[in-house]
Amino acid sequence: MVLNVNGLTRGAFFSALLAVCLSSLMLSPHAHAQGGLPDERLGQRTAPLLLLSRDDVCRNLKLSEVQVQDADKAIVEFFTRARTLKGKKGPSADAARNQIDQDQRVWLDSHLTTEQRSRLAQLDLQWEGPASLVTRPKVADALSLTTQQRETLRKAVEARNAARGESFSKAEEDALTKKTLATLSEPQVERWLAMMGQPLFSPRPTEKTSAKSHPGTP
């Protein structure tokens, strides 16, 4: 089961994430050589296109060299557009942010195969992890979470966020996962795992000090 919950039409949310997630990336058409989306973002919601800046994700999706290069260029383009809207308000700014969101969706539709898009939706959920049950209403609804379960998970995510600060913490992520599994029923866990797909994604630490090989090579 693959549910369309990857947030390809988030509107202004996508622009905000671009500004946050790419703050540590060099504005270069060779994002992979800079390490891509940093490991510290693991467990936090991000724009699906930004996941394509990581070699481990590209390998998982089996992207071609051309697809990788096109993704690098698109990331820089979208970030540049989003940066010009930072701090701007009003209907025109909102429309421009929504257009960025729509253009990202069009880009993914036109540059990835159906199988790659489906897998990216799964990796998007896997990247955010248990927090997606709180940040994405469609996920919570698909699992038929009760009001009490939603509140328990909301508090667990808030505690995770407060504990980890700005950096990734495996211990805090593990604690959130353990709390989530204890909160869900067995059928809910099965549905959640089915939504995330198999195999589960295991991110490889990025190497920011040296250029890396193309995802299709050893």
The domain locations on the chain are 12-128, 129-196
What does the pLDDT read at residue 110?
A: 97
pLDDT score of 2 more than 50 = no
What does the pLDDT read at residue 8?
A: 40
What does the pLDDT read at residue 178?
A: 96
What does the pLDDT read at residue 129?
A: 93
Longest CA–CA separation in the chain, Å: 49
Q: What is the mean pLDDT of residues 83-107?
A: 87
Q: What is the mean pLDDT of residues 75-88?
A: 84
Nearest-angstrom CA–CA distance, 162 and 6: 25
What does the pLDDT read at residue 207?
A: 54
Q: Quick: pLDDT tens for 144-187.
A: 999 999 999 999 999 998 888 766 778 888 999 999 999 999 99
Choose the weakest-confidence range: 11-15, 64-68, 106-110.
11-15
